[in-house]
Amino acid sequence: MNETSQFFTRDLSWLSFNHRVLQEAKDKSVPLYERIKFLAIYSSNLDEFFRVRVASLRSFKQLKKNTRRELGVKPKKELREIRKIVGEQQTEFGRIFREEILPELESHQIFLIDDQQFDKHQQAFAKQFFLDNLSDHIEVHTLDEGANSAPFLKNKALYFVVQTAEDNNILLINIPSEKSARFVELPGTDGHYLTFIDDIIRFNLSEIIKKPIKAAYAVKISRDAEIYIDDEYSGDLLEKLKKGLDDRNVGLPTRFLYDSTMPDDLLAQLKTWFDLTKYDLIPGAGHHNFNDFFGFPDPTNNQQLHNVPMPPLPHPELENATSLLEKIDEKDILLHFPYQRYDYIPQLIREAADDPDVKSVKITLYRVASRSAVVEALLYALEKGKSVMAFIEAKARFDEESNLYWGGELEKAGGRIYYSYPGIKVHTKLLLITRKEADKKKYYAYLGTGNFNEKTARLYCDHALLTSKQKMGAEVNQVFDILERKLIVPKCKHLMIAPFHLGEGFMKMIDQEIANARAGKDAYMILKMNSLEDPDIIQKLYEASQAGVRIRMIVRGICCLIPGVKGQSENIEITSIVDRFLEHARVYIFGNDGKEKIYTASADWMSRNLHRRIEVAIPIYDEDLHQELRHIINLQLADNTKARVINATQSNHYVSTPNGAKPYRSQMDIYAFLKKKVMGVML
């Protein structure tokens, strides 16, 4: 919280979100292997946080003091707070792992052991495994006090800093986790024994360097992703940053994780050799890169240690349809991922490819799966002679390689491919099929809150509208005209498009609720998003609260608004749901004096979404779909199992449930609701 107590600090709010992820790892009602997965998610999230956000704060530190004061930033203070909070969370992380996860694994006869615990059979196995799988990939560097003696430490790579016993030399040895699975099953007769490849290498260190070993300490470095600074900041702020950072070195260290048992004098030497600062040094345990626990093996194949399967459901109207285009022509369709099947999307593109009256297919691709059924369907459409246009966002953080690969494949096949705009991201998720019917163009549109990515569609909660309403399709076509440089400013009556009028449209609807409240009418908003950061929107929400508008919010991640403050936000309640699926959908509901409006959107209420990205908010006009989506949101508002309260202290306590009250777990309840709809139609 900053000094004015109007906003939570963005980065500290994000750390509060990651604490909610850690809570899932602590929750004993979560199956064991899912708890392990949440530890991996926490670790992966934290690594990205250091690479992007901490890197940005370090950039601020390099600016002159007057410039920092002018910008209103205090990077040193915030970095200290980050270190404190992360330190506390890492302590809890280690306690959960050591005192809860490992003992529970052992209760199921699964033992994660280190090299000191190998028996003679496991020692023999470790030697042979090392020779067969790891020895060819080991690199040894001697560190000394000479200039430029230290090698470049690769981002997220793992190393041992080794001290020899006789001559006290210091060596750096890589752990080639990219060449092998991180975990290896060892022989054992009374259970299942697993170990890190780190410990197999540690066991073989004397053989590697041909000298007795005094000690070995695991280290890992995270380097900044400063190429993304354009996405984090804009305008005058961005220009001042760039002007003050003429000598920027891409890939500067942002976090140096080291084994906390490392002696201080050795750590001081490493700090000098690798040009680290005190802010980079983060103590950890003997193993790093816990995101590798995504692949932690289950040698027992015990289904009780995993989530109960929730296979994607068929959509009651699409499942047995002979033509998806005809079904969409009959009425609007709303899909809910991951609860319902994603197969319909590539199926729709393939149907369009086989339809002789379809003339073109246009799509925006933000995060493309490594094996993309959607892109394969687009390639098929090109084979069938259709005009295919794809806008590919080459700046989608950490997905650039996959996006560029598929862009190249589509281009080689004859597709018209457009890439990122300078200074702006294209984040909207649109598909437009143009068909010739009775000598006229007929549009079929897909407007979604999530990416065209069948992998994430199994994990991310999103909504997608399929419509043949021509006014809507014509406005989707305007968005593509913008992407193809045919149009500068869209003129829309239905869609709200950023950066043109999305923010203004939301502001007008909030103002209408304020006017209704002041006129004594019932006024409310229900707002669901991933992140809330834009200061103008937050100030407008404070104004609405003070006018008496009732505001319920579901915010998964960053939330800079402080709810429940008397005279400022006492009419605002916020919860955050973290469960087995990632809440990713954006849904905005406005009371509108009894004529409720619902929009889904690709955009959060962050400055970058409203002003520096192309985003689309989609009105839900169909009354049946309105009621369906409203019921889903009601289920989420009722969640008293996985919902946490966001309050002024960011304590993340769970929604309180009176004794005897019925438990509601929204993700399970939504699945049951949609399953019941399927059964009602298909029986």
Angle in degrees, CA 17, 20, 21, rounded to 5? 95
The CA R_g of the chain, rounded to the nearest whole Å, is: 27
DSSP 113: -
Q: The tokens of 668 are what?
A: 């399970």
Active site annotation includes 19: no
CA 307 to chain CA mean position, Å: 21
Give the count of beta carbons closer than 10 Å to the beta carbon of residue 397.
Answer: 15
Phi and psi angles of residue 264, each rounded to the nearest 5 degrees, phi first = -60, -40
Q: Is 252 helix (H, G, I), strand (E, B) or coil?
A: coil
Residue type, 457: A
Give CB contacts under 8 A, 24+ apart, made by 127-130: 127/203, 127/204, 127/207, 129/184, 129/200, 130/200, 130/201, 130/203, 130/204, 130/207
Cis amide leading into 338 (omega within 30): yes
CA 280 to chain CA mean position, Å: 24
Give the Cα separation of 44 and 582 in Å (integer): 14
Contacts for 358 with CB less than 8 Å, ≥ 6 apart: 352, 386, 433, 434, 435, 436
Which of 19, 287, 336, 427 does the annotation list as catalytic? 427
Phi and psi angles of residue 293, each rounded to the nearest 5 degrees, phi first = -70, -5
Q: Is 40 helix (H, G, I), strand (E, B) or coil?
A: helix
Angle, helix 32-49 to helix 75-95, in steps of 10 degrees: 160
Q: The tokens of 661 are what?
A: 């009250």
Angle, helix 623-637 to helix 666-682, in steps of 10 degrees: 150
For β-strands 213-223 and 192-196, DSSP reports them as: unpaired
Q: Which helix (H) or strand (E) holds 32?
A: helix 32-49
Known catalytic residues?
A: 427
